[in-house]
Structure 1
Amino acid sequence: MTRIPDAVSVASLDTHRLIVAVPNEGPAEISCNLPRTVAADVLRQLADNLDSPAGRCATAILTGRPCPVHDAPSRPRGITSPSRIPFVNVDGSTPVQHPANNDDRRPTMPLDPSDVRGALDFNAGRADQVLASLRDVLLDTETPREPEHALAAARILLEAHARQIAALVEAEHDATHTRWGLSRSTRGLLTGYSSARKAVTAYADGLADEQALAEGAAGK
C-alpha cells in the first residue's frame, strides 16, 4: 500500500531560488531562478559537503562555503586525525598508533598567524576580503588563543584593511586625475589623495613591521 505522508511542504520560486525534487520513481526535477553557473556552483557545494565531513562548522553553515580553518588541508603542526593520536616510545623507537579517547586527546594548537593569512588567501577575490576573513577568524571559536595570538590576528587583518583603503584612495586619485586633469582647482584635491594614501600605507607598513618582529621573537 502506498504510504500517505502526514504533511506536504509546498515550495515555489516565489520563496526559493533553487528547488531540487528527487521522486522515488522517475527523473529528478530542478526549478531555478538563478543563473545556470551559480546554480551549478551551489549544487557542487552541496555535493562536496555530502561527500566529506568538511563544511560543518559555524563558518561553513553560515556562508555555505568550506571554512578556511577547519576545511583547509591539515598542517604538520596539528593532529590530523582525531581517531588516532601518535605517541613516541620511551626508547626512541618508531611511534605506534593508539586509539584515542576523550582523556588522551591533545589540545588543539592555538591560533597561528598562518591561519589568519590563510583566511585572507581563501577569501581573495571577494567583495570585501578582509571583512570575510575577520568573520572566519571570529567564528573559529574552537581554536584556543591567548592575547598575543589575538594581537597577531588583529595586526594582520588591520594591515590588510589599511592596504585595502590605500588602494581605494589611489583609485580615487587616478579617477579624478583622468577625468579632470591637473589644474589649479584639482591640484589640492590630488595632493590630499596622495597624502592620505601615504599615511595609510605607512600605518600598514608599521603593523607589518611589528608583526614581523613579534614572529621573529617567538621563533627564538
Structure 2
Amino acid sequence: MSNSARILIVDVEPHIRRLLHGTLTRADYRVTEAGSARQAMAEIEANAPDVVLLDLGLPDRDGLELLPLIQQKSKAAVLIVSARDATDEKVAALDLGAIDYVTKPFDTEELLARVRVALRSRLVADGGRASIEAGDVSIDLVQRRIHKKGEEVHLTPKEFAVVAELARFPGRVITHDKLLAAVWPRDYERHIEYLRVIVRNIRQKLEDDATVPAIIVNELGVGYRLMGVAG
C-alpha cells in the first residue's frame, strides 16, 4: 500500500529483522532495516521513518546512546524492542524519549498494537489527531486512508503527504515552505509550482467543485488551510 506508514527496524539479529519485516509488511507498512547505529542513522536520513523499532544491543553504539541522536534528526516515534528486561533500562529508555518498550521474545500481535499506538502518539506530539472529518471527507492518518462519502479515494504518496500535513493542524494555515519541506525533503526539489499541481489534483479528487474549493483553501501568498473540520 503506497501510503502506508514507514517503519525502520534497527536490530543486530538478522532473524529478528526477518520476523519483524514479515509481520509489518503483512500489516501493509513500508519497512526498511538496519543492523547497526550507523546504518540506522543513514536510513533515518534517507527515508524519514514514522516509527523506529530499536534494539538496544547494537554493535557500534548502545541503543540508549542512539535515542537522542534519532530525536535530533527525526520526528519518528521510537519503540524499544530489546532482550534487556531490567526496570532501570526501561525507565532510562522512556526518560530518553522512547514511546514504549517491548521485551523479547514478543507476541507479534502485541507488537503491531504497540506500533499503532506509537503512530498515534507521534501524531499527538505533532499537534495533530489520528483521524478527522472535513466535510464529507474522512482522513485516517494512522491507516493512511481517505474516504469521500464512504468511498475510498486513492491519492498518490505526495498527494497524501500534503493532505496529511494539513490534517495535522486542521483549520490552521500551513505555509508553502512547510508543505514543500514535508513533501520534498531535498531542497533542490522544492518548487512552488509542484505544490500547486499537487493541490489541484487533490481538489479534483476531494472537492465537490474543484473550482470553488471548500476543503483545501488557499491563503494567497502564504499557504493552504484544511477547512470544514468537524469537532
TM-score using structure 1 length: 0.28
Give the number of the structure whose residues are more often strand, by fraction. 2
Q: Which one has more relative contact order, counting CA pairs under 8 Å at least 6 apart?
A: 2
TM-score using structure 2 length: 0.27
Higher Cα Rg, which structure: 1
